[in-house]
């Protein structure tokens, strides 16, 4: 498996690990028979963790498809790997800014992550112009 493919798997773990600790820490108030109970997420940190988790689910398909398409279309693997790692780092920073209630920085990081995904997606198109 390539580094980029491991990044796909890590991205799944990342969005799961965004919400799991919040549920565990708040286990006295969390009812697993009602996992989407809005009352549990009224706490600000829980609400932000849920938002970060949901955003991870929303961004995952584009990232996974971009990586797999770039690999399928034989874009330079080292570039795919580097961009995938960069995306993962940006996602970690995004989650931390989401949890830390830094909306402006969070938006910048979201846009940076989207730009990285777009770059991965278009690597096959521009590969002949790359000096690799």
What residue segments make up the domains of the chain, in order of their start?
A: 3-23+40-129
Cβ 98 vs Cβ 50: under 8 Å: no
Tens digits of per-residue pLDDT, 18-34? 998 888 887 777 777 77
Tens digits of per-residue pLDDT, 90-106? 999 999 999 999 999 99
* pTM: predicted TM-score of the whole model, two decimal places: 0.90
Short-list 39, 11, 12, CA closest to 26: 39
Can you name the CATH fold of 3-23+40-129? Answer: 1.20.120
Please state the φ and ψ torsions of residue 100, each to the nearest 5 degrees: -85, 5
What are the CA-CA distances from residue 19 to residues 4, 15, 62, 95, 124 (Å)? Answer: 24, 7, 21, 11, 35
């Amino acid at each position: 498996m390539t580094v980029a493919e491991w990044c796909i798997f890590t991205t799944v773990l990342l969005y799961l690990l965004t919400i799991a600790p919040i549920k565990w820490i708040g286990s006295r108030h969390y009812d697993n028979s009602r996992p989407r109970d809005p009352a549990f997420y009224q706490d600000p940190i829980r609400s932000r963790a849920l938002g970060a988790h949901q955003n991870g689910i929303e961004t995952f398909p584009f990232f996974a498809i971009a990586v797999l398409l770039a690999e399928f279309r034989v874009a330079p693997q080292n570039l795919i790997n580097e961009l995938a790692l960069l995306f993962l780092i940006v996602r970690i920073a995004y989650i931390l800014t989401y949890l830390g209630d830094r909306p402006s920085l969070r938006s910048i990081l979201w846009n940076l992550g989207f730009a990285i995904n777009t770059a991965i997606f278009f690597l096959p198109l521009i590969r002949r112009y790359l000096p690799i």
